[in-house]
């Protein structure tokens, strides 16, 4: 029986590249040979650190994980790009050789229904295609935040999702786009992508101070995507009366200590979770998850996504990627991809 290699989370801060039997292609399925896969520095680190809430199931909207839990061992990941190398007897041969994206774990090959993969346009680089979930998440954040003409908006966190969100918001007719992040290199990237102002987290507190001194009305909206619960408190303090805070971070088991005893209550500040598995109810009459994905795909062609990839690691060295991402202090990798051909 042929074998394929898979990245497996085997325990807290423990990752191994293991062999598993190669999947059989069904009559109406296809096999993809993976070229690159992207690592989610947010969700995958929660799995790596064993910080996912107990008994929480894996996202059921992804067919590859239907019925799965976050218990170890776990093959996890959702950003694979490759080419179709085999089709079933009832699958159109036109699929052969096509470059596709799949919401699949890090594995050398995978089998899927044609409806579960996304054909990729030739003009989209493979490296950028591996970041399609990042763009889809950023599109969701912008849809949920609903920026308006002339508004002042801040993005807290300039990781891969944060920077992609900044790039999308930079196309909106805002009065000011502010980015808050502790790493100078990420703040520089944010400015290059269209941020008007970049701040370190300590300076972000001044946004709320100016509001209370009646120097400014406060921000209209803030997007919290840093993964740091403390940033949510800063985002709440930064927005003004009837301000909106969109929370894209998944904190896992970390608690958010919020100061809601001051201006929050009287200012009627709204805090809303944004999660890519679902759509805002106000949009569902016109938007579908497929429309959002196609929007992300069309935007991915124009965004400088490949420039966000700071580490390209051979697939067999996958454990090293999570060790790098888990390092405390200093500058952590921005976006890691696994290369299956290296």
pTM of the predicted model, to two decimals?
0.94
d(CA 288, CA 266): 36
195-231 residue pLDDT tens: 999 999 998 877 766 655 566 678 999 999 999 999 9
d(CA 215, CA 209): 9
Distances (CA, A) of 32 to 40, 210, 213, 262, 283: 21, 54, 59, 54, 33
145-162 residue pLDDT tens: 999 999 999 999 999 999
Domain residue ranges of the chain, discontinuous segments joined by + = 3-131+309-339, 134-273
What fold, for 134-273?
A: Rossmann fold (3.40.50)
At residue 289, the 3 state secondary structure works out as helix
Pairing assessment for the beta strands 152-156 and 176-180 based on DSSP bridges: parallel
> What distance lies between CA 118 and its chain's CA centroid?
17
pLDDT, position 214: 60
234-286 residue pLDDT tens: 999 999 999 999 999 999 888 888 888 888 888 899 999 999 999 999 999 99
Query: By CB neighbour count within 10 A (0-12 exposed, 13-18 middle, 19+ buried), where does 226 fall?
Result: buried
Is-contact 100 79, C-beta < 8 A? no
d(CA 43, CA 163): 17
Q: What is the CATH number that goes with domain 3-131+309-339? A: 3.90.180.10
């Amino acid at each position: 029986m042929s074998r394929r290699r898979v990245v497996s989370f085997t325990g807290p801060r423990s990752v191994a590249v293991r062999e598993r039997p190669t999947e059989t292609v069904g009559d109406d399925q296809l096999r993809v040979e993976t070229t690159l896969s992207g690592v989610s520095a947010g969700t995958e680190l929660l799995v790596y650190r064993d910080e996912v809430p107990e008994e929480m199931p894996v996202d059921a909207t992804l067919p590859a994980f239907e019925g799965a839990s976050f218990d170890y061992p776990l093959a996890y990941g959702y950003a694979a790009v490759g080419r179709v190398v085999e089709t079933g007897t009832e699958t159109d041969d036109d699929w052969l050789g096509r470059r596709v994206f799949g919401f699949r774990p890090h594995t050398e090959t995978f089998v899927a229904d044609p409806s579960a993969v996304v054909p990729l346009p030739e003009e989209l680089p493979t490296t950028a295609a591996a970041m399609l979930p990042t763009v889809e998440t950023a599109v969701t954040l912008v849809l949920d935040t609903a920026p308006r003409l002339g508004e002042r908006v801040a993005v807290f966190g300039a990781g891969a999702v944060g920077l992609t969100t900044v790039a999308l918001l930079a196309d909106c007719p805002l009065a000011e786009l502010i980015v808050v992040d502790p790493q100078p290199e990420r703040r520089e990237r944010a400015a290059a992508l269209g941020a008007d102002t970049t701040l370190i987290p300590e300076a972000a507190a001044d946004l709320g101070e100016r509001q209370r001194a009646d120097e400014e009305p406060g921000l209209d909206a803030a997007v919290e995507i840093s993964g740091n619960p403390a940033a949510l408190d800063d985002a709440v303090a930064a927005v003004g009366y009837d301000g909106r805070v969109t929370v894209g971070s998944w904190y896992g088991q970390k608690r958010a200590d919020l100061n809601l005893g001051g201006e929050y209550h009287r200012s009627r500040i709204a805090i809303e979770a944004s999660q890519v598995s679902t759509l805002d109810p106000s949009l569902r009459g016109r938007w579908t998850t497929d429309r959002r994905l196609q929007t992300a795909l069309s935007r991915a062609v124009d965004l400088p996504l490949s420039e966000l990839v700071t580490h390209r690691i051979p697939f067999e060295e996958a454990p090293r990627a999570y060790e790098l991402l888990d390092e405390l202090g200093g500058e952590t990798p921005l976006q890691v991809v696994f290369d299956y051909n290296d």
